[in-house]
Amino acid sequence: MIAAVKRWHAVLCALPFFIPSGAHAADDVNGAAHDLARQTAVFAGPGQPVSVEYRNVSSLGPAELGQARGAFEAALKEAGLRVSDVAPVAELRLTLSENQSQYLLVEEARKGDERQVWMAAWKRAEPAAAALPGMALDRKLVWEQEEQILDVAFPAAGMLVLSPSKVALYTPRENGSWALGRAVPVSPGKPWPRDVRGRLRVTGASFQAFLPGVECGGAAEPSLSIECRAGDQPWVLESGSHAALLANFAATRNYFDGRVATGNGLRKTMAPFYSAVSAAEQGRPLWLLAMLDGRTQIFDAWLETVGAIASWGSDIAGTEASCGGGSQVLATRPGDAGEPDAIQAFAIVNHAATPLTAPVEFAGPVTALWPLSATSALAVVRDPLTGRYAAYVITVVCGS
Amino acid sequence: MRLMSSPWFAVRNLALAALAATAAAATRPHYGGTLHVQIRQSFETPDPPTAGYGMPDLARAFAITLWEAGRRAVYAADENAAGGRPFLDTVEIEMARPLRDQSVDLELAKTDVVELGPSELRRQPAGRKVWASAPVRLVALVFAPRVEDARIREALALAVDRAAIHNVLLQRQGEVSAALLPQWLSGYAFLFPAAADAARARTLVAGLPAAVRAISLGVEDAAARPIAERIALNARDAGLAVSVVPQAAGADARLVEVRISSLDPALALAGMAVSLGLPEPPRAASPEALYAAERALLEGFHVIPLFHLPDAYGVNPRVKGRPGITPLGEWRFENLWVEGGRP
């Protein structure tokens, strides 16, 4: 509830009102303060003393109110007014407020029986990206967009971004940013399942795009092209730099249906799972599958269960950086939608997860985590405030 | 009228996230299962409601499969829903369930989602998952045209002790307000004075003939009657004789609740004006212009805004996913999933 200020409210009720019709859209609090000060100067008259009362009904803190106060008083001075509580010609009240999209400076000005209300607004800033906290996991933002990002890959021609509606090829600019080269649509025969997932696999200039119930093949050069058809071709799930597992994706769901084949020809039907990693424990190969029940099951080379990890989220990816035993598992954190998320690197020791790095924290959920190279993975994070998606390259950094 | 809840600001950001697309979280959603929902309202119509908020919102991704008017409704997932098939298989809604019984059922894990009134909200155990919308429901007094003397209307506006009602009857849920648009939407609601001024109300009433000091106040929702009775008490202190009647039709004034229907402040004001029988305001392009339009609507005290209240729901811990309601209180159950649901 906003506290009422009786004296002002009495004035509000009693005085005739004048509200100017012009809109005041400023760039920031300084611009807003200048806009209001200019009008105040006209209202009060040049060189006149004015008193100012401040209050804050926004979610901004005292520092921002102090900034607004400083900017307003400097602007008043610049406009030729004096701030003084002694015999002021006009009494001003400045309120720092906000609505869904803007911050507002609301000025109520009173001079004798005359009263005015002015408002100056500026756009609310997007929340700043969280600082990089990791010591051994490095993250680099590579792309942001409104539409969900399913996967990002880096062929020689640039950067491929897979979204539910298209594949786009971006080429690097000299300043390090990306320019859209070409985008080609991907049209499923029927709506994608909720929580749609997708995977890019690049081989030279050509690539495969795996989507639920749809298989696509394309090329990034000489110009982006893609052909898709309905199909149940297994997805190739890599771990680190090598192909690890062929797994069939359930066409109307968000998980693999459990049918898998390993590189040595072993075929088996497991329980459905979300993601898979090939890891090693003291040289012995292991498979880790993030199951639908929230546990990550550990299997031996023959896909027999040897253990379980209960503390990870649904998405895991394998890397093979030279440190940390030469085999790391990057795992998301268990949690509900909309919650902050994190990615942390683990080693498998005695069939249990041992943290290798501090977690890299994100403000929103990690919606995709795929291996990218021997030492890196691609993570997509949804911003819980804006709904935008950001793709990060997460790299295991040794020796830092 | 349903009276509700809560420090909405804390959940606003989560609720906003419900507007985004449907990618999963760190723990991916499970497909399958039934979401059990209880509501106080009883729809006695031969067909399910298609307009308004709540059940009609389900039509985005579910199809009705069972309709027992006034009792029960079952919706099944639409395999071809825009944005993909919902994670849930079905949503079962039990209607006409008193708020107190709803909370008991939630406590006993007999249901998944229940409505929370101020009393129920206060009694929720620590850690209970609660979805709260922004304060989107305006509680206001609306005068009939036959109450012609503006002094009566202004006197009642000044007599109502909103703060006391907010503290006691509403258990501090929502916000006291004298504006049509809530502060979170307009940013200037604080400019409308909401404090009671009994002395000034008495002064206004003193100038009125005794015959016009009696007002009937219609309240159709029994849950809102305590508020109406408290208003009548306040009015008596100011010298007005307010009698609370159960029928709104024919009353001198009505205690009503209207919802904000848009996140665009100008559209929201226009919608609210229509709902309250006020003239349509001019389209405003700036906060100042919107303020001027709202001030013009409230001139003459034909409508007296009192409170802005949020919707609040208690949620079983097995329900996962982003908040099932938007900041406007719309149901978005297609993004929910339940633990234990079979894939």
Delineate the domains of chain A, giving CATH numbers in brackets: 6-123 (3.40.50), 137-396 (2.130.10.10)
Residues 44-83 of A with CB under 8 A from B: 57, 59
Arithmetic mean of pLDDT, A82-111: 90
| Per-residue pLDDT at B259 | 94
Residue in B84, B288, B289 closest to A194 by CB: B84
For B:192-211, CB contacts with A below 8 A are: 193-195
Question: Nearest-CA neighbor of B174 among B154, B197, B201, B194?
Answer: B194
From the list A207, A204, A135, the residue with the least C-alpha distance to A395 is: A135
| Nearest partner of A19 among A136, A108, A113, A137, judged by Cα | A108
Ramachandran region of residue A318, left (φ > 0), alpha (ψ -120 to 50) or beta?
beta
> pLDDT tens digits for A309-340?
988 999 999 998 877 667 889 999 988 777 88
Q: Is A14 on the interface with B (CB under 8 A)?
A: no
pLDDT at B6: 34
Q: Taking CB atoms and an 8 Å limit, are A57 and B183 in contact across chains?
A: yes
User: Of residues B113 and A81, which shows the higher confidence score?
Assistant: B113
Does residue B194 surpass a pLDDT of 90? yes
Q: How far is B307 from chain A (nearest CA, A)?
A: 10
Contact B28 A333 (CB under 8 A): no
Contact B185 A13 (CB under 8 A): no
Which is more confidently placed, B10 or A387?
A387
- pLDDT(A1) > 70: no
pLDDT for res A243: 60
**Contact yes or no for B92/B34 (Cβ under 8 A):** yes
How many Å lie between the alpha carbon of A387 and the closest alpha carbon of chain B? 5
Q: In this predicted structure, what is the pLDDT of residue A371?
A: 93
The ipTM estimated for the assembled molecules is: 0.71
Identify the CA nearest to A95 among candidates A139, A29, A154, A144: A29
Average pLDDT value for residue range B6-24: 38
Would you call A127 an interface residue with chain B, using a CB distance cutoff of 8 Å?
Answer: no
**Which residues in chain A have Cβ-Cβ distances shorter than 8 Å to B263?**
100
Give the pLDDT confidence score for residue B212 in this predicted structure.
87
Confidence band for B26, pLDDT divided at 50, 70 and 90 = low
Please check whether residue B164 touches A, CB under 8 A: no
**Contact between residue A101 and residue A123 where contact means Cβ atoms under 8 Å apart:** yes
In terms of Cα–Cα distance, which of A298, A350, A347, A294 is closest to A318? Answer: A347
Q: Give residue B8's pLDDT band: very low, low, confident or very high (50, 70, 90).
A: very low
Whole-number Cα distances in Å, A32 to A49, A59, A107, B184? 21, 17, 11, 20
Instruction: Specify which of A9-13, A160-164, A188-192 reaches the highest per-range mean pLDDT.
Output: A160-164
Mean per-residue pLDDT over chain B, rounded: 88
| pLDDT band (50, 70, 90) for residue A48 | confident
To the nearest whole Å, the CA of B223 is away from the closest chain A CA by 23
Question: Can you tell me the distance from the alpha carbon of A225 to that of A283, in angstroms, rounded to the nearest whole number?
Answer: 41
Q: Which tokens in the block code for residue B25?
A: 């979280």
| pLDDT of A288 | 95
C-alpha distances (whole Å) from B28 to each of A150, A197, A279 are 14, 11, 22
pLDDT at residue B272 in the model: 95
Tokens matching residue B280 = 């349509």
pLDDT band at A45 (very low <50, low <70, confident <90, very high): confident
What would the mean pLDDT of B88-117 be, rounded to a whole number?
95
Q: At a CB cut-off of 8 Å and minimum separation 6, what does A202 contact? A: A153, A154, A155, A160, A220
Percent of chain B with pLDDT over 70: 91
Check whether A25 has a pLDDT greater than 70. no
Cβ partners under 8 Å of residue B332, min gap 6: B18, B57, B60, B322, B323, B324, B325, B326
Per-residue pLDDT tens digits for A103-157: 999 999 999 889 999 999 988 764 433 333 333 798 999 999 999 999 999 999 8
- pLDDT over 50 (residue A4): no
One-character DSSP codes across A84-107: -SSS-SEEEEEEEEE-SSEEEEEE
Query: Which residues are bridge partners to A50 per DSSP?
Result: A83, A90
Instruction: Give the rounded percent of residues in chain A with a pLDDT score beyond 90.
Output: 52
| Bridge partners (DSSP) listed for residue A144 | A390
What whole-number distance in Å separates Cα of residue A100 and Cα of residue B174? 17
CB contact under 8 A, B190 and A57: yes
For B24, which of A13, A98, A254 is closest by C-beta distance?
A254
- Annotate A313-343 with b (16+ C-beta within 10 A) or e (fewer): bbbbbbbbbebbbebbbbbbbbbbbbbebbb
A206-211 sheet: strands from edge to edge? A199-203, A206-211, A214-219, A225-230
Both structure tokens of B12: 């606003």
CB contact, 8 Å: B10 with chain A? no
Residue ranges and CATH numbers for the domains of chain B are 8-134+311-338 (3.40.190.10), 137-309 (3.10.105.10)
Report, as an integer, the average pLDDT of A267-290.
Answer: 90
Q: Do A365 and B83 lie within an 8 Å CB cutoff?
A: no
Question: In Å, what is the CA distance from B125 to each residue of B15, B98, B106, B107, B128?
Answer: 22, 19, 11, 9, 6
Q: What are A362-391's pLDDT values in tens digits?
A: 999 999 999 998 889 999 999 988 999 999
* Angle made by CA atoms A215, A216, A222, in degrees to the nearest 5: 170
Asked if B9 has any chain A CB less than 8 Å from its own CB, the reply is yes
The distance of B280 to chain A (nearest Cα, Å) reads 18
Q: Do A1 and B85 touch (CB under 8 A)?
A: no
Closest among A137, A81, A140 to A111, alpha carbons compared = A81
CA–CA gap between residue B43 and residue B60 (Å, rounded):
19
